[in-house]
Amino acid sequence: MPEPIARFLGPVSCTRGAGLAGFTLAGLTAERPGEPTTLVFPVPVPPDMPASLEDTLIERLSAGEYRISGAAGAWRIASPVLEVHREVAPAFYAALPPRRPPWLKRALWSVLLALAASRCGLAVLRRLRR
């Protein structure tokens, strides 16, 4: 029974590897909307696969065998491994509140901004810069 790996919604780019044999599928998945997902196959790209796909499903058929299917067709890929990368930075930084800067740094920036707001303060800053 096929095991679904990723279901891309919308456009999916298929990038061929520059120096090494391999190709990459990148887009947004149904499982994690808003998190860009990239699948890397370290095998040659099928010759009839277009540069962009639409609404694509990637399934593991057996160990080392995958199926990519979509509106443009279906392809069977024999690959020893499949790398799945998900962009988790937004979720990570949403879970961690920002650290409040130390009071000395806040005071320094307050003074500098107050000086920069007037002509006299700008003259003082120019003198300190020399």
Residue 18: pLDDT band by 50, 70, 90 thresholds? low
In this prediction, what percent of the chain has a pLDDT beyond 70? 97
- Specify the pLDDT at position 19: 59
Number of Cβ within 10 Å of residue 48's Cβ equals 8
Every domain of the chain and the residues it spans? 3-92, 99-129
Q: How confident is the model over 23-51, as pLDDT tens digits? A: 899 999 888 877 889 999 998 888 888 88
In this predicted structure, the answer to whether residue 17 has a pLDDT above a threshold of 80 is no
